[in-house]
Amino acid sequence: MQTLNVDLANRSYPIHIGRHLLTDANLILPHLKRKHVAIVTNTTVAPLYLDQLTQTLQAAGVSVIPIILPDGEAYKNTETLNKIYDVLLQNRCERSTTLIALGGGVIGDLTGYAAATYLRGVPFIQIPTTLLSQVDSSVGGKTGINHPLGKNMIGAFYQPQVVLADIDTLKTLPARELSAGMAEVIKYGLIRDAEFFDWLEAHIEPLMALDENAISEAIYRSCRNKAEVVARDEHETGERALLNLGHTFGHAIENAMGYGVWLHGEAVAAGTMMAADLSQRMGWLNAAEVARIHALLTKARLPLDAPKLSADKYLDLMQMDKKVADGKIRLVLQQGIGKSVITSDYDADKLRATLSL
């Protein structure tokens, strides 16, 4: 097992990465206020891992309440959030009850937001079961739900007590979900870690085959990159926004196509290529660098051609992005492999050209 820390003073917490973590109650017990938890999961993950985690905790004397939600991005909304509140209230859960998110990014975001708001704040633990959630959404305290007009527009920054990334759970991950997670892994190399990008190019085949050593290293290096950024900018007032490479375009794709039609990582991959295209038009990336990005995302089996929407439609959807400031769309663009910038200083005609591809 490897462990690293997210350094946020009195809100700091460890990230444990390894195998058989769901069977080790000692990784969870120190983070409970009392031995009473509610495990929030979904209809896909519950048959795979809910019993295992429940038995681990019950054997350690922990009382467990299961909350099983429907699966999918389409359910990341107020109605599903209220299902969590309903069970917590029906069971008279107190502020000493810890919520455990067992699932992918949707479950993590919903559970974290429920924890931030139920009784004005109860502890929660992240146990991500997808690659995307292990390297991205479980780390950093972003929680929330979608709104019909925009993705993740309602939420709170609320940090977990601990993150357990059990790589054994990736063995049951569908191939499409594995690829979606790789989009976020590749992102870290692009925005701030050129050496990691080189490593990914050299190891993409074993990664896609879920080689234990390769996938553990990729998760560790991704989490280390994110932890460093979050420690410096917890509430995304500056540097942390760089983690949204491809997301402004990608969220527009998800919204336009209907939440869940494109997986988040798939939309981010297409959005990353749109960002690379605009960066090249701005003279910040050369053709060889764009080709490297395209080749790596292709080897990760990701869709790279964005839906054919009008430039006006894209721009309208992108205006709902959280990075919009003073009415201007701010984008994360590339100034080289491993170097990114968040800016509204781009040529509007060149952006339209990218959106019209």
Is 264 a residue of the active site?
yes
Task: Judge whether 310 and 318 are in contact, CB under 8 Å.
Answer: no
Residue closest to 245 by CA, chosen among 322, 209, 191: 191
Tokens standing for 39? 């495990």
**Active-site entry in 151, 251, 322, 330:** 251
**Active-site entry in 226, 292, 322, 330:** 226
Is 228 a residue of the active site?
no
**Active-site entry in 234, 236, 266, 289:** 236
CA 55 from chain center: how many Å? 28
**Active-site entry in 264, 292, 322, 330:** 264
Q: In which residue are the tokens 């809100």 written?
A: 11
Query: What CA–CA distance (Å, rounded) separates 160 from 112?
Result: 8
Query: What CA–CA distance (Å, rounded) separates 339 from 333?
Result: 9
Is 34 a residue of the active site?
no
**Active-site entry in 26, 79, 120, 213:** 120
Is 147 a residue of the active site?
no
**Active-site entry in 224, 240, 292, 330:** 240
**Active-site entry in 244, 254, 255, 322:** 244
**Active-site entry in 76, 187, 224, 247:** 247
Query: What CA–CA distance (Å, rounded) separates 278 from 198?
Result: 22
Element (H, E) at 6: strand 2-6
Residue closest to 296 by CA, chosen among 183, 214, 216: 183
Is 251 a residue of the active site?
yes
**Active-site entry in 42, 73, 76, 142:** 142
Task: Judge whether 314 and 249 are in contact, CB under 8 Å.
Answer: yes
Q: In which residue are the tokens 């079961």 written?
A: 129
Is 234 a residue of the active site?
no
Is 244 a residue of the active site?
yes
Is 330 a residue of the active site?
no
| Positions marked catalytic | 120, 142, 184, 226, 236, 240, 244, 247, 251, 264
